[in-house]
């Protein structure tokens, strides 16, 4: 048997189905590193196809006889491969293919390749040797990279395109998480192709598995200033050089298809596959037909057969990149032909729109569209809505359950250390820690200060408020009084050493956290909504990656001092280990990002308002008017409604207001009607001078959205005037 397992070969989209397959991508550069074993310092890296020879720069490189071994280490001295300038930018599409063995870790952000430029001082961004030879900065400006690690974690990788030379082009990041076994050879391929002016797309394979689909890039290949084209070194000069052995490195002038890449990977680094060899002219090259027993490279008729009865011919499956003898290549419950011909979904991706819901589920559940992540455009992706009991075609306001509410409406005066911060709904009362806090009568004012050394007031809420939840919404009304470095609106998680109960603890690093900061560092024009999972403890039972990689969403809004703002953070789970973060400012959706873990992964033992789990960050200097936690997700409409209602009104309610007063002169009684919220308790007071409201007339439970008090006897008989006040417990 030639075919004993699934062969994953390529990708399908509406574009690729309607266009003929490009059978032949031209190989334009090939580096095989098969020099005689020995010292490679200063050696030539021969391009056997294009003549664009490179050079080994730095110290410690060896030729093994079949590869180039780089030692890794500090970029000021360690060896790397320097290829000629402008290998990428003249083209409209390229494929970079190679075979590399990661020999060891220990070097942060080690690059498999990095083509681009570095901050310069008149040299155009080119670095001509180890260290910083151009006298400028050390940051990469333009680049097209594939890393062997994210930071020091070699089980995570990154592809990134940055277009900041000149500034303003932005960057696109594509992360993967594939276990690296040091000493094992890794085949890889990355395609980058223009799709229009200012747009392009990237696809990435590692060890025969496609790890992303058509990642959108907001620049073209021609925008890349590729003057530092390196193997094993980063255009960010402070990153470490890679400790690895290169067996083969190739560049093609086309974006190869999945089938072509699989054929080349199968042939190995020492063989160039002739992808145009098709003796029976059936559209399927010999190298591919040889993978399957039921295909014959000399029989053109087998191209029109349907081996797996999925309503696609063998030729159509080859062109689509689906598996010829598996009717459901992505195991989503839909046949490959049904996905392509009926639903226009991707037969190689179980969740075509990346919304957390399987294509088969979305097709079966006709309330959502498998090609639109957020069918109703309400700010919550379809997957979390389906799993949270919401309707993904209904954009009307969602109704999450408010489970904690802190209104900070204690009488004006000092908010001393140890004072209680009352939870009006859930009973999860918090505590003031530190000094300098004050109740204003309608808010809590905290003073700010240096995080590591100041005894500054903040709010410590009980442990475990976040981790039991699958979907949650945090909502806050706040006012800033001064700029504080990374001042936190909220920070729920843990720090080095776990739980912290005092101020002046020195600078420790946050381990787990869900945060929203009022500023990006000291930049008041930007804010951060982010999560991180570095603490292995997961009291909520989460199973997400404990990798320490922050998953931020930064957003930009002006922060004026002494002005109140409204921020809502929503974190939903797809119930498959991942989720979605969305943030709102003053009722406006600022944006969304996906997450690799959920609230249940957070070890929430430091649940703070106004303080950071990175305890060297400053305390917030400002006022809290109200803070709420919900079980469930607010959508766009719900946030808009809550912002309009303001901090004194719960969802679905109206401001507390006396709407009618009736006096019956026959029996000298009054009847009051006022707006209310279900499940609350109210007190009615009277006064004759608008100062002393100590006279309680009646206490009563809510009558719903409207409550009536009375009739009750005139509390001030004979008085020429009387005033009433209603308060909510």
CATH assignment of 404-645? 2.60.120.200
Q: Which residues pair with 147 in a beta bridge?
A: 111, 158
Q: For residues 266-278, b (16+ Cβ closer than 10 Å) or e, as one string?
A: beebeeebebeeb
Nearest to 541 by CA among 603, 494, 473, 463: 603
Of 68, 76, 32, 23, the C-alpha closest to 50 is 32
Per-residue confidence band for 185, with pLDDT thresholds at 50, 70 and 90? very high
How many CA atoms within 13 Å lie on the side-chain side of 369? 10
pLDDT confidence bin for 651, thresholds 50/70/90 = low
* CB atoms inside a 10 Å sphere around CB 304: 12
Instruction: Band the pLDDT of 677: cuts 50, 70, 90.
Output: low
69/372: higher pLDDT: 69
- Percentage above 70 pLDDT, the chain: 94
pLDDT for 425: 85
| Third-level CATH fold of 30-267 | Jelly Rolls (2.60.120)
Cα 255 to Cα 268: distance, rounded to the nearest angstrom: 19
How far, in Å, CA of 381 to CA of 368, rounded? 10
Equal fold, 30-267 vs 404-645: yes
Look up residue 487 and give its two tokens: 């001042």
* CA separation for the pair 438, 416 (Å, rounded): 8
Map 325-360 to HEC letters: CCCCCCCCCCCHHHHHHHHCCCCCCCCCCCCCCCHH
In this predicted structure, the answer to whether residue 653 has a pLDDT above a threshold of 60 is no
d(CA 591, CA 215): 18
Q: Give the Cα separation of 475 and 645 in Å (integer).
A: 13
Per the model's pLDDT, the better-predicted residue between 506 and 311 turns out to be 311
DSSP state of 210: E
Q: Is the dihedral of CA 370, 372, 377, 382 positive or negative?
A: positive
Where residue 9 falls among pLDDT bands split at 50, 70, 90? very low
The CA-based dihedral angle spanning residues 274, 275, 281, 286, taken in that order and rounded to the nearest 10 degrees: 70
Specify whether the CB–CB gap between 621 and 482 falls below 8 A. yes
Question: What is the arithmetic mean of pLDDT over 62-83?
Answer: 97
3-class DSSP assignment, residue 16: helix
**CA-based end-to-end distance of the chain:** 76
Q: Are 599 and 470 in contact (CB under 8 A)?
A: yes
Q: What is the structure's pLDDT at 650?
A: 59
Of the ranges 364-368, 386-390, 680-684, 709-713, the best mean pLDDT one? 709-713
- What is the band of 291 on the pLDDT scale with cuts at 50, 70, 90? confident
Separation CA 370–CA 386 (nearest Å): 12
**Residue 17 confidence (pLDDT):** 27
Can you give the pLDDT at residue 103? 96
User: Confidence class of residue 421 from pLDDT cuts 50, 70 and 90?
Assistant: very high
Q: Mean pLDDT, the chain, as a whole number?
A: 88
Find the helix or strand (DSSP H, E) in which 144 lies. strand 140-147
Q: What are the two backbone dihedrals, phi and then psi, of residue 223, each rounded to the nearest 5 degrees?
A: -80, -15
Residue 71 has pLDDT above 60, yes or no: yes
- Lowest-confidence region among 55-69, 374-388, 567-581: 374-388
Q: Mind listing the pLDDT tens digit for each residue in 159-184?
A: 999 998 887 777 888 888 889 999 99
Identify which has the larger pLDDT, 648 or 11: 648
Band of residue 19 on the pLDDT scale cut at 50, 70, 90: very low
Say if CB 606 and CB 488 are below 8 A apart: no
Partner residues linked to 585 by β-bridges: 567, 588
Assign 588 a pLDDT band (cuts: 50, 70, 90): very high
Residue 478: which of 450, 452, 459 has the closest Cα? 459
**Cβ count within 10 A of residue 3:** 15
Tokens representing 641 are: 């409604």
Q: Which of 61-70, 427-436, 516-525, 641-650 has the lowest mean pLDDT?
A: 641-650
Cα–Cα dist 423/111, whole Å:
50
* Span 126-138, pLDDT tens digits: 999 999 987 777 8
Q: 411 near 382, Cβ under 8 Å?
A: no
Query: Bigger pLDDT: 437 or 264?
Result: 437
Asked whether 390 and 380 are in contact (CB, 8 A), the reply is: yes
- Residue that the structure tokens 């003898």 belong to: 325
Cα–Cα distances in angstroms (integers) from residue 102 to residues 69, 72, 125, 394, in the given order: 10, 10, 28, 49
> What is the residue extent of each domain of the chain?
30-267, 286-387, 404-645, 658-728
- Judge whether 639 and 533 are in contact, CB under 8 Å: no
The reply to whether omega before 711 is within 30° of 0 (cis) is yes
Q: Residue 136's pLDDT is what?
A: 74
Q: How far is CA 216 from CA 199, 203, 219, in A?
A: 7, 10, 9
Phi-psi region of 148 (alpha: psi -120 to 50; beta: other; left: phi over 0): alpha
Question: What distance in Å separates the CA atoms of residue 8 and residue 355, rounded to the nearest whole number?
Answer: 23
- DSSP per-residue string spanning 519-585: SBTTBTTEEEEEEEE--S--TT----------EEEEEE----TT-EEEEEEEEEE-SSS-EEEEEEE
Give the model confidence (pLDDT) of 443-500 as tens digits: 999 999 999 899 999 999 999 999 999 999 999 999 999 999 999 999 999 998 789 9
């Amino acid at each position: 048997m030639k075919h004993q397992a699934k062969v994953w070969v390529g990708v399908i989209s509406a574009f690729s189905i309607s266009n003929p397959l490009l059978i032949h991508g031209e190989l334009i550069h090939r580096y095989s590193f098969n020099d005689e074993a020995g010292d490679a310092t200063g050696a030539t890296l021969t391009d056997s196809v294009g003549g664009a020879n490179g050079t080994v720069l730095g110290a410690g490189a060896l030729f093994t006889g079949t590869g180039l071994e780089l030692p890794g280490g500090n970029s000021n001295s360690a060896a790397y491969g320097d290829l000629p300038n402008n290998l990428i930018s003249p083209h409209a599409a390229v494929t970079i293919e190679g075979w590399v063995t990661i020999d060891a870790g220990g070097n942060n952000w080690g690059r498999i390749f990095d083509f681009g430029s570095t901050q310069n001082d008149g040299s155009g961004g080119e670095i001509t040797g180890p260290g910083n030879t151009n006298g400028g900065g050390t940051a990469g400006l333009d680049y097209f990279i594939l890393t062997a690690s994210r930071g020091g974690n070699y089980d995570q990788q990154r592809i990134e395109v940055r277009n900041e030379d000149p500034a303003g082009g932005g960057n696109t990041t594509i992360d993967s998480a594939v276990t690296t076994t040091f000493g094992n050879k890794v085949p890889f391929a990355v395609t980058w192709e223009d799709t229009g002016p200012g747009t392009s797309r990237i696809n990435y394979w590692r060890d025969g598995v496609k790890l992303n689909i058509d990642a959108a890039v907001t620049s073209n290949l021609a925008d890349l200033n590729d003057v530092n084209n390196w193997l094993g070194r980063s255009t960010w000069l402070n990153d470490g050089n890679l400790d690895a052995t290169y067996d083969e490195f190739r560049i093609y002038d086309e974006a190869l298809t999945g089938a072509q890449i699989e054929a080349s990977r199968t042939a190995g680094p020492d063989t160039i596959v002739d992808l145009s060899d098709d003796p029976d002219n059936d559209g399927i090259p010999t190298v591919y037909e040889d993978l399957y027993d039921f295909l014959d490279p000399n029989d053109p008729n087998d191209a029109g057969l349907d081996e797996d009865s999925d309503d696609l011919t063998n030729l159509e499956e080859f062109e689509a990149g689906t598996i010829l003898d598996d009717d459901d290549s992505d195991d989503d419950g839909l046949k490959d032909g049904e996905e392509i011909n009926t639903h226009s979904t991707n037969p190689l991706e179980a969740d075509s729109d990346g919304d957390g819901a399987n294509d088969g589920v979305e097709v079966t559940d006709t309330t959502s569209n498998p090609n639109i992540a957020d069918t109703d455009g309400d700010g919550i992706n379809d997957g979390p809505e389906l799993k949270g009991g919401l309707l993904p075609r209904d954009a009307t306001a969602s109704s999450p359950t408010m489970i904690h509410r802190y209104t900070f409406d204690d009488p004006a005066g000092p908010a001393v250390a140890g004072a209680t911060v009352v939870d009006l709904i859930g009973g999860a009362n918090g505590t003031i820690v530190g000094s300098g806090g004050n109740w204003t009568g309608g808010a809590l004012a905290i003073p700010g200060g240096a995080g590591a050394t100041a005894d500054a007031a903040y709010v410590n809420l009980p442990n475990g408020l976040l981790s039991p939840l699958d979907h949650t919404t945090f909502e806050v009304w706040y006012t800033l009084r001064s700029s504080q470095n990374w001042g936190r609106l909220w920070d729920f998680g843990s720090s080095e050493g776990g739980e912290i109960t005092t101020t002046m603890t020195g600078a420790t690093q946050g381990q787990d956290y869900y945060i929203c900061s009022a500023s990006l560092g000291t930049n008041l024009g930007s804010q951060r909504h982010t999560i991180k999972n570095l603490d292995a403890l997961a009291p909520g039972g989460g199973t997400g990656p404990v990798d320490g990689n922050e998953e931020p969403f930064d957003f930009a809004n002006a922060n004026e001092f002494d002005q109140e703002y409204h921020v809502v953070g929503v974190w939903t789970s797809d119930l498959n280990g991942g989720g979605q973060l969305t943030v709102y400012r003053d009722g406006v959706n600022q944006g969304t990002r996906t997450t690799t873990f959920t609230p249940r992964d957070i070890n929430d033992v430091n649940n703070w308002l106004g303080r950071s789990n990175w305890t060297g960050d400053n305390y917030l200097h400002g006022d809290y008017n109200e803070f709420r936690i919900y079980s469930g997700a607010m959508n766009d409409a719900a946030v808009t409604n809550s912002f309009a209602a303001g901090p004194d009104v719960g969802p679905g309610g109206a401001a507390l207001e006396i709407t009618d007063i009736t006096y019956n002169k026959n029996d000298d009684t009054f009847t009051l009607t006022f707006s209310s919220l279900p499940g609350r308790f109210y007190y009615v007071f009277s006064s004759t001078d608008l100062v002393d409201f100590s006279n309680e007339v009646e206490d009563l439970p809510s009558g719903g959205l409207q409550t009536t008090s009375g009739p009750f006897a005139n509390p001030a008989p004979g008085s020429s005037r009387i005033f009433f006040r209603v308060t909510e417990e």
